[in-house]
Structure 1
Amino acid sequence: MTDNTTATGHLLGAADIRRIAADAGVSPTKKFGQNFVIDPGTVRRIVREAGVTNTDHVMEVGPGLGSLTLAILETGASMTAVEIDPPLAKRLPSTVAEFMPEAADRLKVVNRDALTVTPDNVPDFNNDESFTLVANLPYNVATPILLTLLERFDNLGSFLVMVQKEVADRLAAKPGSKIYGTPSVKLAWYGTAERVGTIGRNVFWPAPNVDSALVKFTRYAANDDANPAVGEAAPDRERVFQLIDAAFGQRRKTLHAALKHLVPAAAFEAAGIDPTRRGETLTITEFAALASAMTAHGEAA
Structure 2
Amino acid sequence: MERSDVRSARRRMAGQVRKTPVFHTSVASPSGPVPVTMKLEHLQHGGTFKVRGIFNALLESGEGTDQVVIASGGNAGIAAALVAARLGKSCTVVVPETAPHTKVAAMWSHGAEVLWYGATYAEALRHAVEFAAERGALRLHGHDMAAVVAGAGVVGLELEEQVRGRPSVLAAVGGGGLVAGMAAALGRRQQVIGVEPEGSPTLQAALDANRPVDVRGPRLATDSLGATRISDIALDIARRYGVRSLLVTDDAIVAAREYLWREFRILVELSGAAALAAIQSGAYVPEPDERPVVVLCGANTDVAVL
- Alignment TM-score, normalising by the size of structure 1: 0.33
User: Could you say which structure has the larger radius of gyration?
Assistant: 1
TM-score between both structures, scaled by the size of structure 2: 0.33
